[in-house]
Structures are given as C-alpha cells and as structure tokens.
Chain A
C-alpha cells in the first residue's frame, strides 16, 4: 500500500462544474510529487482537501494507511507552505517557526534548538528576532518553509511556494527547496503551474486536467512522451492534428509510412498526431523516394530569442491549407521556400528535410 493514497476525489463549488472529478493518485514515502496544471484546474483544492481545510464531496484520502476523513485540520500533522506564505505578521521569525512546536507543547529549550536547526537549514540563521514584516519575498518563503518543517510533519504540501518570489531568485530557491526536502527525506506534494519547476522539483509529475490526474510519470518520461493531447498542449507543443479527419488520415499515412516513428503505435488507439515543433531538422539532398512526402511553403518567419518560428503551410494534396509551426535553430530558411518534410530519420542524407527521431508522436484524447 502506498504511503499517500488519494482515491476518487470529487469536489464542486456551488452549481458550477465539478473542479475535481474523480482525482486519484498514490505516492510513496519520501517521494516528491508535483501536481502540474493550469490555474483553476483544482490543484490547490487537492491540497486543501489533503490538509483538511476543505471537505471533498466524495473520495478518500489515506495517509500512512489511516483514513483522514473526520480528522480535524490541527490533528493531521501536515505541513503547508502557502502561496503567499501567510507568516503571522505579529510574531517574529522565531515565534513563527516555533508556532507548531508550541502547539505540540515542546519545552522551551527544545523549541529553541529546533528553530535554530530549521533556520540553519533554510540559510536564515541569525534571523530569529527579526519581525517578519521586513523580510523579502525569498526570505519569507524560506521562513514559511522552516515553519512548516519544524514540527516534522508526515506530509508537506507546497502551494506554488515560489510564485510570489521574484523571477530572478526563483532558480536559486527551487534548488535550495529541493535540497532541503531531500535532506529531510520528506514526503511532499508540490503544486505548480510552471513546467520547469515541476520538472526540477518532482520525482514524479502528475498533470492535472479536467479534474483528474491526466498523466503521471517521471518528468523526463512525461516530456518524452506526453501521451495525451491535453498534456502535450500544456507542455507547449503545437502541431497537434486530429486523426479522424481526411487530413488526419493523410497525416497518419505520412507518419506511419516511415518506420521508426512509432508507426505501429499510431495504428492502435491514437486519436491525434503530434509533430514536435522543436526538433532537429536537417536538410538532405536528392529525391524523395521513401515514405510519403509532405510539401509546404514557408509563409512566415518569426524570430524568437534562440530560434526562429517557421510557419509552414502545406501544399501537399489532401493536406492543403494545414499549417505546421516549427521552432528551428537554423538560418537559411526564407519566406516562400518550398520544403518537403520527411517524418523519418532513417536513411539520412537522402532526404530533403528530415524531422529528427521522435519528431512525431501519437497522442490520445
């Protein structure tokens, strides 16, 4: 049995559509799970339910094998780092950090030691007597972390803890956060909408969409194989084509015509085809013999910081009018250029424009 088991959570507010629609996941002890998803997708609601701050309409939360239903907030032994930190404004840093210890009736000398230990952990030793009002965003985030870690909670919940921190500091903080959580061997659920943050923080990432966990996997696996349309979209991948249109049929043939692109998988239950926008594209020479060609004209070029976004309007019969956007690192592509795309990397050198391996992927709805 997993350490944290969240099973079939439903939650709605008023008459609107349910925010959570049977959300489930399981998590091992010591694991950091990132809940990734767009704002309003119910990530924070999950945390609030886990902490007991909110009641789910139905569903079950088991922590360490114990059903949490009916356990009041203050008895759950859960650490919660809030989005805007919510430090107690009338208390000093030390009094904030030791608040949970007071609730556990720790004697004073032990509290002092623990506070010191915690502040050292988050690199804020010596801040004990400061009022929390003067702290910077990064400092108050770290105090909030120390405060929630001090009572050694069974589960730590982090609700976009870095969102109210200056963009420039975020990189350092996320590194520190990760190392703190690792040294404490803490089980944590980290909510974020930021892909990079999730990629770095999570042992696994659960992509929340439509009130459920849409996709859960190790971060690298998630990016390598988004598997669902929603996930691919959230990861910023464009060029997603439905396969149930004539155009889609044609693209399916084009993609499956070249071996090595997972053509087999494409035949089964895939509903969409993804052409990765950011892929290695090499120009080849010679005729197109293998596979089906995919001709198009470059209609616009939009320079980005490190690459150029190329809009390719397909001219291939049956695909006319469809547009593929590619982020290319190379120059030498101009408007009106006729391009022929090949879906396979096989037999390099013989093809005009070849999508790198994994340049296409199959998705399900």
Chain B
C-alpha cells in the first residue's frame, strides 16, 4: 500500500464522521439562521431583536469577565505556591485542585446546592448554631453563586497552566536576582511575574472561553433570572421551539468562541518556549524549610480545601435527609425508582443508559481519534498543519450548539440511541487525538524500519509493534472518553430521548423538582457520578506511568 492510500484509509472514518455529525449540523444551523426557510420553522418564528440579543450577549460577557478575574485572583497565589515540588501538602493540594476541573457540571451544581442551598450544609449549621428560622445564606439564583461556581471550576485551570509553566522556569533566574540585591518580593515582581505573564494571559483567555459558553451552571444555579447565550439557545430551542432564533444565537456563540479559540492557540504558539526542565529539579529541593514555608503550606492547603468544600458538602448531604444525618435513604431511593416519579425511567436505568453511552462513546471516539492521529502523523507538511485545528474544532464548539445542530439536521436519526454517543464522541475525540498523537510521534521511526527489514509487512508491523506501544495511550484516551461521556450535560439535554435519560439529565430533573427527597436523590446520584469521574481520573493518574516507561 503506498503512502497516500494509507493516509486515506486512516482519514476516511474521521472525515465522514466529522462531516455528518459536525459540519452538516453547523451548516444547517447557518441555513436555519440566515436562509429563507427560517420563517417556516414553527410557522411564527420570532427572531431575537437587537436589544434582547445585546442584553444576552452583554450579560454573557460580563459574567465571563467577572468569573475570569475572580478565578485569577484565587488561582494565581495558589499557582505561585505550587510552582515548586517541595512538600507533601503541596502534592495533596495539587491533587485536590485537579478534582473540580474534571467534575461534571451537574455534580458541581448539586454540590453548590448542597453547600449553600436553602437546606444546604452551611445554612443548616448556621440555623442550628444561631437558632434561626430562615436560612441566612440566600445565594441560590443570584449572580454571586454563578461566579462562585465558575471560580470553583476555573481556579484549577489557572493553577494548572500557570504553575506548570512557572515550575519550568529556571530557578537560577530568581537566584541571580537575589544575588543582585533583590528581595523575594522584588524578584517576584520584576523577574518571575513578567516571565509567567504569557501563561497567565492564556489561562485567562481559556477561562473566559469556558465561562462565556457556560451552560449548566447558569441554567441550574442561576435559575430563570439569568441567561447566557447558551442558556438562551436552549430556551429558544426547547421551551419555545423557536429553532431559527436559537440558530441565530448559536451563530453568535460560534463566532465568539472561534475568535477566542484562535486567539488562544495563537498565543500558545507564540509563547511555547521550550525551557530547560533539568535545571528546575536540581534547584527545587535544596531550599531549607522555614516558618514561612509552613505558613504558606498551611494557607495554601486551607484554600484548596475551601475550593473542594462543595464536593465534601455534597457527600455529607447525600447521606442525610432533612436533619437526620448518616443514613442511606437517598441511595435506597435511587434503587427503588419511585413509582410517583415524573420521569419516564428509573434512576437505575439512567445509570445503565449513561454507562452504555459511555462505552459506545469510548469505542467510537477511539476509532475516530486513532484515525485522526494517524492522518496527522502520516500527512506530510502543510496539509497536516491545516488539518490539526480542524480536528480540534468540536472542542471549541459549545455542546448546546451541537445539540441544536442535531435537532435541526438529524431527521430520522433523531430517535436513534446512537445519537447521544455520537455527540459525546465528537466532543471526546479531540481529547483522544491529543493523547494518542504524541504517543505516535514518540515512537522511534526506526522501530517501523527494524520490523520491516525483519520481514514484517506494514500491517504486521502495525499489529505487533505500533499498536502494543500506543496501547497505554489508548487506555488513557478511553478513560478520558468514558469520563467525558458520563458527565456530558449540554448536548444530551437537547438530544437525549426523555425515555432514555442519562445520569446528568436525571440529576438535573431531580434538582428542578420540589421536595427534600428529590434533592436528596439528586445529591446521591451526583455522588455516584462524582465517584465514577474521580475514579477515572485516579486511574489516569496511574496510567501515564506505564506510558513513560516506554
């Protein structure tokens, strides 16, 4: 098989899939928003006027800006603290800080309800201590709780990016400033901070992008009063079934996110300066530990604990009903699948749906991701450079927009049980690609040649040499895909059939219903989802070791 044919074989599945499940829906959104048949959808579609569009866009931007600023304020000091690898407390904090980022949005929402809701842990405690009859903390459905939830999510983004970049900085630069007479503070301001500025800026841009397309947090915690573009798309599409209006909003959303994305990637390319890593490790451990270190460690750990406190509250609350603590009533409720439930499926069925979807997502996204990885790997020169961002596009497209696209474009496929996994795979496949491609590039080219001269055909070489060597990366990618699918909310909300709800959808439904029993069950299910996601991430933490050995 010659080279070009090989590329084609790998490229075909991802191209067909992207075409059918990504570009076609987008084009249909475009046509619906701008085309002549926009007035046909529903017969009396009302396009959003400029004023209401400006209001939504304004709020979306404003809350994203505030969230970004707040995340930076919370994240930068933590990043500074975590820039070296000294104490055990730091590694614990680093682990804690990765948790929020990987949590599904419904889990976060339930966690904030569990901590700060009217019957949440804080209010229960305060009412108990001060003998109050009204919950003192009234944050539900306020601007504040939206921002808090965004900070919860995105602090870890800031910390990860900035401290990662910072830890690669050559510590001798700071030492040099010290020998030149700069105090620690002056060194930070004049040397270290300017050097990490690019990382801080790109993390801020990423956080802005996340908050701008925030959906679940605003929908669940913000209530009816607040509406980002994403929420507006959802309401137009589902509540009013005004698809043309939703499509117009989706177009605005796409324009903004793609602009921010391209800005982000350009910024990253600009500042991706390879730095010496060896120097860091040498200089990291030799500092004597002073009282300052202990104070720093203490403060940092407290901050990290505060950050994950909603999840702790969620866990505690899931084991209590009303005021009686430590029982399994909520979990038992999940198993029973209450008869008076307004849902078309029981919680156990929802778990089954989620797991089935996740497994299917895993398979589809692995096939796609491997195909994409080989396409980029075998594609020479410029074509490959063009394709790379194309494969990443789904990552920058909001889930709600995708869901809307499916509603508009899928026709008879709308009811297919494979539609949800397809959407999830689309979201997961760029991540899969990002894991597998480096593994592929790490393979010594000589291995393929060595296998060839020893008499192996290209296919035998792939099976006996390449596949075994990228297998650990495939395992990591599968876990990623699995976790993404388990937690995915936005797209599922628009396209999943009511009789086949996933776990996040069921949690969303339960949270929206009155009564402590519903709330308790939502929290119990959130804990299950949290455990699954957490376990996946824990497994991921182990797996890269196996990769590094090769």
With A84-B444, A86-B444, A89-B550 in contact, do A103 and B449 touch (Cβ < 8 Å)? no
A28 to chain B, nearest CB (A): 22
Return chain A residues, CB-CB under 8 Å to B449. 51, 53, 73, 80, 82, 86
Which residues of B sit under 8 angstroms from A86, Cβ to Cβ? 444, 446-447, 449-450
Quick check: B451 and A90 within 8 Å, CB to CB? no
Stretch at the interface among B223-231, B242-250, B280-288, B455-463: B455-463
What A residues does B465 contact at CB under 8 A?
Answer: 88, 90
Q: Report whether B450 and A103 are in contact in the complex, using a CB–CB cutoff of 8 Å.
A: no
Main secondary structure of the interface of B (DSSP, over half): helix
Whether A73 contacts B468 by the Cβ 8 Å rule is: no
A133 in complex: contacting residue of B444, B452, B455, B549, CB < 8 Å: B549
Most chain A CB inside 10 Å of its own CB: which residue of B449, B469, B550: B449
Q: Does B453 contact A (CB under 8 A)?
A: yes
CB distance from B549 to the nearest CB of A (A): 7
B407-459 interface (Cβ within 8 A of A): 444, 446-447, 449-457
Q: Are B453 and A79 in contact (CB under 8 A)?
A: yes
In whole Å, how far is A289's beta carbon from the nearest beta carbon of chain B? 65
Closest partner residue, chain B, to A80 (CB atom): B453
| A90, B468: Cβ atoms closer than 8 Å | yes
User: Which of A73, A84, A104 is the one whose CB lies under 8 Å from B452?
Assistant: A73
A147 to B453, CA, bound (A): 11
Cβ-defined contact, B452 with A74, below 8 A: yes
Q: What chain A residues lie within 8 Å of B446 (beta carbons)?
A: 82, 84, 86
Identify 28 residue pairs between A and B in the complex whose beta-carbon atoms are under 8 Å apart, listed by A's number. Answer: A51-B453, A52-B452, A53-B452, A73-B452, A73-B453, A74-B452, A74-B456, A75-B455, A76-B453, A79-B453, A80-B449, A80-B453, A82-B450, A84-B444, A84-B446, A86-B444, A88-B451, A89-B469, A89-B550, A90-B550, A99-B454, A100-B455, A103-B454, A103-B460, A133-B549, A147-B450, A148-B454, A151-B455
Chain A residues positioned under 8 Å from B451 (CB to CB): 88, 99
A191 interfacial contact with B, CB 8 Å: no
Residues of chain A contacted by B454 (CB below 8 angstroms): 74, 99-100, 103, 147-148, 151
- A78 at the B interface (CB under 8 A): yes
Given contacts A86-B446, A90-B550, A147-B454, 10 further A-B contacts (CB under 8 A): A74-B457, A74-B460, A79-B453, A80-B450, A80-B453, A82-B450, A84-B444, A86-B450, A90-B469, A147-B450
Residues on A facing B (Cβ under 8 Å)? 51-53, 72-80, 82, 84, 86, 88-90, 99-100, 103-104, 133, 147-148, 151
CA distance A72 to B453 in the complex (A): 9
A-B CB contacts (within 8 Å), total count: 65
CA distance A133 to B549 in the complex (A): 9
Alpha-carbon gap, A74 to B465, bound state (A): 14
Residues of A within 8 A of B444 (CB): 84, 86
> How far does the alpha carbon of A104 sit from the alpha carbon of B451 in the complex, in Å?
12
A147 to B465, CA, bound (A): 15
Is A74 within 8 A of B455, CB to CB?
A: yes
Residue numbers in A under 8 Å from B450 (CB-CB): 80, 82, 86, 88, 147
Measured between alpha carbons, how far is A191 from B456 in the docked complex, in Å? 24
Chain B residue at minimum C-beta to C-beta distance from A78? B453
* Bound Cα distance from A40 to B460, whole angstroms: 32
Tell me which residues across on chain B come within 8 A of A151, comparing CB atoms. 454-455
Q: Assuming the A-B contacts A88-B465, A90-B468, A90-B550, are A103 and B456 also in contact, with contact meaning beta carbons closer than 8 angstroms in the complex?
A: yes
A104 to B464, CA, bound (A): 14
Measured between beta carbons, the chain B residues less than 8 angstroms from A77 are 455
In whole angstroms, how far apart are the Cα atoms of A82 and B449 in the complex? 9
The 7 A-B residue pairs whose C-beta atoms are closest, nearest first, are A103-B455, A86-B446, A100-B454, A73-B452, A80-B453, A86-B450, A90-B468
A89 / chain B contacts, CB cutoff of 8 Å = 469, 550
**Distance between B379 CB and nearest chain A CB, rounded to angstroms:** 18
Determine the residue in chain A with the shortest Cβ distance to B550: A89
Q: Which residues of B lie under 8 Å from residue A53 when comparing CB positions?
A: 449, 452-453
Select A104's contact among B455, B468, B469, B550, beta carbons within 8 Å: B455
Query: A51: which B residues are within 8 A, CB to CB?
Result: 449, 452-453
Cα A143 to Cα B140 with chains together (Å): 68
Q: Given the complex, which residues of A lie within 8 Å of B460, measured CB to CB?
A: 74, 103
Indicate the member of B446, B450, B457, B469 with the most A CB atoms within 10 Å. Answer: B450
Cα of A73 to Cα of B444 in the assembled complex, Å? 18
For chain B, residues 477 to 497, give those with C-beta under 8 angstroms from any C-beta of chain A: none
Q: Which residue of B lies closest to A104 (CB)?
A: B455
